A and B are shown apart, each in its own frame.
Chain A
Amino acid sequence: MKIVADKVRFAYGQTQVLREVSVEVREGEVLGIIGPNGSGKSTLLRCMGGIYVPAGGEVRIDGARLPSMARRARAKQIGYVPQTSGEEQPFTVLDLVLMGRRPHVSWGLGSRDVAIAAAVLGELGMTHLAGRYLNELSGGQRQKAHIARALAQEPAILLLDEPTSALDIRHQLEVLEFVRRAARRDGRTIVLVMHELSIAARYSDRLALLSDGRLHAAGTPEEVLTEQALQEVYGVEAQVRPGEYGLEVVPIRPLHEPEAAVGGAAR
């Protein structure tokens, strides 16, 4: 399933956060959204998930405009995992994953729902944790449990907001390998918000670089992640070189030109 954000605008009160941002993600593709703090990455993701309604422009999945879709129908197509919040309520991992079945059930859970939850947990290597309470898990396990919840929704489109932020490198690789497999093998459409540029470059088919609410560049990692772009958008001097496993981005030092400082300022 294809998802398109078409000239999406969004504001928190008077603060313009997105100014006519357009991105397009094809079926089976992984799009990485990158950009400095406050550039509008998470907001764009939420607009694409139908959680925020854009002030202008629109989001379409396979041609259908989001606001015109019933909430539940949309929830069957789009799964969303926010950044980890750190606080958990009294649910077991299995409870949480079964919650992902919410758009598909009205009251009771059937054996099919449980089978789907079991399959997702097996896939993420979390079967042994199913009966554990969320607050007894490590940050990385918890993050994976939330991703499992979204997968149990069986969405064609999966939106992940910094899915690896709480994870150690091993868990990062596990989750991202898994995400890539979900795109390649299962044909899911995946949008990731990422901070770590080398990792983003390696696991994304295409990148969208946001700067101050605008789309600075979109394309393959090689097209988007240039030393010039890093200077303009992040205000850092950096070295970008092709490595054995994708682009290697080595940040060197922050630039102190006034222009760069403004561009990189967090909101």
Chain B
Amino acid sequence: MTKHGGGVQDAAAIGELHRKHAGRKLLVLLVLAALTVLAVLGAATLGSASLGIGDVVHVILVKLGLAGGSVDALGNAIVWELRLPRILLALVTGLALAGSGTVMQGVLRNPLVSPFTLGLSSAAAFGASVAIIAGASLPGNLRYWIIGSAFFFGMATVLFIYFVASLKGSGKATYLLSGVAISYVFSAGVSVMKYVSDHEALREIVVWLMGGLWGASWHVVAILLPLVVGILLVLLANAWNLNVMAGGEEVAASMGVHVKRLRLLVLVLATLAASATIAFTGIIGFIGLMAPHICRMLVGGDNRYLIPCSALMGAVLLIVSDTIGRTVIAPTEIPVGIITSFIGVPFFMYLLIRQRRQWWG
């Protein structure tokens, strides 16, 4: 026979447990939000000209019209024109890569999926190289051609993988193997591009492939920030649907989720966010894989908390990485893609080894 618990006591205990868990998740979220603000402000104080955090806050408040007074030309140039756009590009790229990694892992029920592992990054790299090579013969601003081409190839890749998976069944191996295969094809394509390119184009391709935030400007931030935040909000609105996907596609369907539509929506939006930022920054690996995993260890699998937590975690990681990259051997800058690999991988391995629980068996 079933053991019967104490009824009322049980209900109170469960309610208490639920409050405790929810409170802890909310706390993690708030701490991450605070860390993000601190990272932005802290990063703005660091660099060749050292500024106090008070100076930085002053410049920002004056520029936003929230405080009176005036800003000196140097402060304006360094904080507002140089550092902040770059920091905000790091922020939005981190949000996009980590957020899209999280939902891709969720909707494909696969812990190894990220913009990087699905082949999206190499496809975007190929697209960018093509535009760089074709550079001179293209009308208009080359920057936009690079962005457009990177984006086009990224999106085409994800739709192709989705198509293969819908033919072949959405087993774990299908997505990863297609992603690996596509990565190889496009890497080979990039090599061809490098081989046939002239000296200048070659340099530009190599720099783009390393992944960096040199391309930052208020203009870029103004394009990306609304796009990425908007996409994250739509994904967040689907948090419950993503949660029930955890029980399997059939369970999700039985609970009223239109599984195919959800999968397509999430993949397209995640790809849009990731490849839009990749187009401006080049390839930055590991954020999209690392941030969701760290946050899953912190808040568990509930996407209502997981999506915002890992997006913020991605932003913090990327801001910190880029700040290290541009200050550690200044005036020489290390591309942020190299830094994320250097700090990201050992940290990730440490967590994996230390971690008691293993998600996804």
Contacts and interface: CB of A to CB of B under 8 A. Distances in A.
A89 B254 contact: no
Contact of A149 (B1, B240, B247, B358): B247
B255 A103 contact: yes
B176 to A, nearest CB: 15
A136 to B, nearest CB: 7
B251 A130 contact: no
A13 to B, nearest CB: 11
B11 A119 contact: yes
Interface in B231-247: 240, 243-244, 246-247
A122 B13 CA distance: 11
Contacts, number: 130
A164 to B, nearest CB: 14
Interface stretch (B15-23, B155-163, B212-220, B321-329): B15-23
Given A102-B255, A103-B255, A89 B301 contact: yes
A71 B241 CA distance: 12
B226 interface: no
Given A115-B11, A124-B2, A107 B304 contact: yes
B262 to A, nearest CB: 11
B2 A125 contact: yes
Interface residues of B, number: 41
Contacts of B3: 125
B333 interface: no
Interface centre among B5, B256, B360 (most CB of A within 10 A): B256
B253 A177 contact: no
Given A136-B357, A177-B2, A90 B15 contact: no
Interface string B156-194: 000000000000000000000000000000000000000
Interface size class of A (residues with CB under 8 A): 35 or more
Interface in B294-313: 296-297, 300-302, 304
Nearest to B20: A131
Contacts of B2: 123-125, 174, 177-178
A96 interface: yes
Interface centre among B15, B244, B247, B257 (most CB of A within 10 A): B247
Interface centre among B4, B14, B254 (most CB of A within 10 A): B254
A95 B301 contact: yes
Contacts of A103: 255-256
Given A80-B250, A90-B301, A118 B359 contact: no
Interface centre among B18, B300, B361 (most CB of A within 10 A): B18
Given A102-B255, A177-B2, A135 B247 contact: no
Nearest to B360: A87
A94 B357 contact: no
Contact of A125 (B4, B247, B253, B360): B4
A58 B301 CA distance: 36
B248 interface: yes
Nearest to A144: B2
A74 interface: yes
A216 B300 CA distance: 47
A193 to B, nearest CB: 13
A122 B5 contact: yes
A118 B10 contact: yes
B260 interface: no
B63 interface: no
A185 to B, nearest CB: 13
A72 B257 CA distance: 8
Nearest to B293: A90
A74 B254 CA distance: 8
Contacts of B297: 90
B277 to A, nearest CB: 27
B254 A75 contact: yes
A114 B258 CA distance: 26
6 closest A-B pairs by CB: A125-B3, A80-B254, A75-B256, A118-B14, A71-B256, A118-B11
Interface of B: 1-7, 10-11, 13-15, 17-18, 21, 109, 240, 243-244, 246-248, 250-251, 253-258, 296-297, 300-302, 304, 357-361
6 contacts: A51-B250, A88-B359, A90-B297, A98-B18, A114-B18, A130-B17
